[in-house]
Amino acid sequence: MSTFDLESYLAPRRERVDATLSALLPEPTGDDPGRLREAMRYAVLLGGKRMRPLMAIAAAEAVGASVETALPACCAIELVHAYSLVHDDLPAMDDDAERRGKPTVHVAFGEDKAILVGDALLTLAFGALAGGVGGRPATGRVGDAVAKLAHHAGIDGMVGGQALDLVAGQDIHDLELLERVHALKTGGLYAGSAAMAGLLAGKDDEVVGRLERYGLKFGIAFQHADDVLDDDQPALREKALKRTDALVEQCIDEVAPFGEAAEPLRAIARWVGERARKAAGA
């Protein structure tokens, strides 16, 4: 049984991600049309576990790269995630008035500003990935990383998953359909996060593929756990819990060739399995 202290590993890296995001979105001191810069900062720094950027760091370290190498991917993936939440919360989508105990962006700044905030965060994400952050240029296979983010954030990933989710609803009875939604909407960004880390580290397609598959399987398991926590998709709860256990094992198998350096990735996978079981009262 592993004795790896996951929270001790994650905490300083989460602080590093938060500091880098804060620097990328500084407090507006001059011209801020429509309070757009203020709203962007609000959207990103509202809180959250930062699991997508933390996965990028763990993936980079698993293949021998540094936290600094992963930071452009960390910022890019979190900016895309934040934009997606801003748009998902809009009345035309999920119509949520609160997120993490605070007013959602469209409530605090207006629906028109929320649309523009999402647009601005998405474009900033690609700028951070292509140009680097913190005064350091991105390294490795940067062009491939940009293409990977575009794939997993777009119609063949997160955006397509959101569209499918809107059509399918919250009472899906077919596990294959449910996992297709989860793979696109949630798994896409986790897959992209891990893959981009490998690409910025300059690794070959075999290594990047392992990281990408790890992220995809983790993302599906993560969303299964969220469904249990939120009491969504009740018809498939038992099947989803069994699938989560299987996906965790597959994640661990994917990163086995990386040896001891991949222990944080293994611990993150085990964490999501424990999260699902705890939510189910098991």
Q: What single-letter amino acid sits at 8?
A: S
**Which pLDDT score is estimated for 233?**
82
pLDDT higher than threshold 60 for residue 17: yes
Helices (H) and strands (E) in the chain, counts: 13, 2
Distances (CA, A) of 194 to 5, 65, 100, 175, 201: 21, 12, 25, 25, 11
Architecture of domain 6-279: Orthogonal Bundle (1.10)
Name the residue with higher pLDDT: 223 or 229: 223
Q: What are the pLDDT digits (tens) for 43-56?
A: 999 888 999 999 99
Instruction: Identify the helix (H) or strand (E) that includes residue 102.
Output: strand 102-103
pLDDT higher than threshold 60 for residue 282: no
**Which pLDDT score is estimated for 2?**
64
Would you kindly state where each structural domain of the chain is located, as residue ranges? 6-279
**Which pLDDT score is estimated for 1?**
52
Q: What is the mean pLDDT of the chain?
A: 94
pLDDT category, 30, cuts 50, 70, 90?
confident
